[in-house]
Amino acid sequence: MNAPTPNLGPDVVDTGHSDARQARKLTSNEFTAVAVVAAMVAVLGLLGFVNSFAAVADAARPSFGSFAWTVPLGIDLGIAIFAALDIVLGRLDMRVRWLRLIPWTLTGATVYLNVAGESTAFGKVAHAVLPCLWVAAVEIGAHVVRVRAGIEAGTRMDGIRASRWFLAPVRTGALWRRMVLWEIRSYPDALNRERSRLLVRTDLQDTYGAVAWRWKAPRKVRALYRLGELAPAPTAPNADAPSLTIADRPALNAGPSAPTEPDPSAPAEKTVRRTDGRTTRGRSGTKSGGRSRTGARTGKRTPKRTVPDVDDLMPLGWRIAADLETRDVPLKRDSLAAEIRKTGQKVSSERVGALLDRLKSEAPTDPTPVNATDTDAAVSAAAEGSDAR
């Protein structure tokens, strides 16, 4: 029989990330605090401009003459303009990464021109501190704006905490790699998908083998596993074993995986037959072939009970499947065999496996719940049809 085709319908994870978050709106108090901080940063920049204006103008007078005042004005305006442009583009989620280098370069030029005219260490440090504070404040503001814009646009990727990198560097690196490859923005979502991936891999190993699942599992299942789009099926409340994402393996050459309760009348019937056979052989004095010769002599044959084939069991199987579905019990080989044996019908594991494949691949003609009357009628009809053949 061919390899089972997994039922991926309800177990495929939606690839569309629904974890789009919205940046929290500022309260009135927070907005007031932000406004005050922005005003203080503006004052800081103004102080730096005033202090460096004269020094830069004096340093530029030998080269620019009467237009030396345009040099500090142009440099300071360039710092403010390009810093504001970086913030605006970050807010629009259209940030240009190299744009932030322009304010840094202009600030470095301002510091150099201020320090060049000073001979004392105090003067050099004093002229360098104010421009550096301005650039630091602008970078912090740009970072806040970019983070909020990324959250609102859904393009910001969460970081992984440093403690996880320290405790499990290899697995954390693999998790970070999947976050980048699968475009998972949320760190909790990445953890949930990692747990689901481990459970799916365990199901594949239980179904196809610890290592053989890498080539025995269907290619579609392996592809979905690599893409992270498989999730373990939820465990049924009445099932002893967890239901797998991948369909059960065919039961043609394997016995039942879990022992089922035998029919109480079965052991007694076997004992009676064995006892009767021994008594008959002891009385007649014949060997093992005496019974068949006696039967051939008299012309009487013991009626042999035939086992119905899969076609005769299909109506009963559909009713059992419908009844299991109403009880929220998964349709598996063991549960199907147990329900059939409850009706008094004896079937082998091979027929149960073939019947299970037929039930999963064919639509029922009359999927009504099973009851005692319908079961007896189905069993009688199956037995009569088999005896007639």
Q: pLDDT (tens digit, 9 = 90+) per residue, 212-263?
A: 888 988 888 888 888 777 766 555 444 444 444 444 434 333 344 444 454 5
Kindly state whether residues 102 and 204 are assigned to the same domain: no
Same domain, 163 and 143: no
Res 306 pLDDT > 90: no
CB 34 within 8 A of CB 26: yes
In a domain, 8, yes or no: no
* Same domain flag for 59 and 119: yes
Asked whether residue 261 is domain-assigned, the answer is: no
Do 101 and 169 lie in one domain? The reply is no
Among residues 213, 247, 281, the one where a domain terminates is: 247
pLDDT digits (tens, 9 = 90+) for 16-54: 444 445 667 778 888 898 889 888 888 887 887 787 777
Output phi, psi for 230, to 5 deg.
-105, 145
Q: Which tokens sit at 355?
A: 């019947």
Each residue of 109-119: pLDDT tens digit? 888 877 776 77
- The residue out of 153, 173, 188 marking a domain boundary is 153
Q: Is the Cβ–Cβ distance between 59 and 117 less than 8 Å?
A: yes
Using alpha carbons, select from 84, 143, 74, 68 the residue that is nearest to residue 106: 74
The pLDDT value given to residue 277: 44
**pLDDT of amino acid 95:** 77
Q: Is 365 exposed, middle or buried (0-12, 13-18, 19+ CB in 10 A)?
A: exposed
By the 10 Å C-beta count (0-12 exposed, 13-18 middle, 19+ buried), 22 is classed as exposed
In a domain, 206, yes or no: yes
Which of 253 and 60 is assigned the larger pLDDT? 60
pLDDT given at position 363? 67
Tens of pLDDT, residue by residue over 316-354, are 888 888 888 888 777 777 777 888 877 877 777 777 778
Please tell me whether residues 126 and 39 are part of one structural domain: yes
The yes-or-no verdict on residue 13 having pLDDT over 60 is no
- The first and second tokens of residue 302, run together, are 């013991």
Give yes or no: residues 146 and 184 share one domain.
Answer: no
Split at pLDDT 50, 70, 90, the class of 167 is very high
Among 320, 345, 346, 344, CA closest to 332: 320
The domain total for the chain is 3
Looking at the fold, whether 216 and 123 belong to one and the same domain comes out as no
Question: Of 313 and 117, which is predicted with more confidence?
Answer: 313
pLDDT(2) > 50? no
Q: Is residue 176 part of a domain?
A: yes
DSSP-assigned beta bridge partners for residue 12: 230
Say which amino acid occupies 277: G
Please give the pLDDT value at position 22.
63
Kindly state whether residue 209 falls inside one of the protein's structural domains: yes
Average pLDDT, rounded, for the chain: 71
Q: Is residue 20 part of a domain?
A: no
The residue ranking higher by pLDDT, 129 or 242, is 129
Exposure letters 72-98 (e unless 16+ CB within 10 A, then b):
beebbebbbebbeebbebbeeeebeee
Burial 28-38 (b: 16+ CB within 10 A, else e): eeeeeeeeeee
368 pLDDT more than 70 = no
Looking at the predicted structure, is the pLDDT value of residue 177 above 50?
Answer: yes
User: How much is the pLDDT for 243?
Assistant: 44
Residue type, 78: G
% of the chain at pLDDT higher than 90: 2
Where helices occur in the chain by DSSP H, the ranges are: 28-64, 70-91, 101-116, 121-153, 162-167, 169-181, 187-208, 213-216, 219-227, 265-284, 290-298, 310-326, 333-342, 349-361, 372-388
Q: Do the domain assignments include residue 286?
A: no
Q: Which of 211, 177, 206, 169 is nearest to 194 (CA)?
A: 177
In a domain, 288, yes or no: no
- Tokens representing 292 are 């068949």
Angle at 128 between CA 108 and CA 146, to 5 degrees: 60
Query: Rounded to two decimals, what is the model's pTM?
Result: 0.41
Residue type, 123: G
Q: Which residue has the tokens 């007078």?
A: 61
Last residue of a domain, one of 135, 153, 171: 153
What's the pLDDT score for residue 239? 43
Residues 117 and 165 in one domain: no
Q: How many degrees, rounded to 5, is the angle at CA 96 between CA 174 and CA 133? A: 95
Task: Say if CB 363 and CB 314 are below 8 A apart.
Answer: no
Helix (H, G, I), strand (E, B) or coil at 173: helix
Q: Evaluate if residue 166 carries a pLDDT over 90.
A: yes
Q: Residue 307 — very low, low, confident or very high, per pLDDT cuts 50/70/90? A: low
pLDDT at position 41: 84
- Predicted pLDDT of residue 42: 84
The answer to whether residues 131 and 188 belong to one domain is no
45 is in which domain, residue-wise?
28-153
Name the least confident of 130-134, 165-169, 191-195, 284-288.
284-288
Q: Is the domain of 145 the same as that of 118?
A: yes
Same domain flag for 316 and 209: no
Query: Both 101 and 217 in a single domain?
Result: no
Residue 255 CB coordination number (10 Å): 9
Q: Which of 139-143, 167-171, 268-272 has the highest mean pLDDT?
A: 167-171
Would you say 110 and 75 are in contact if contact means Cβ atoms under 8 Å apart? yes
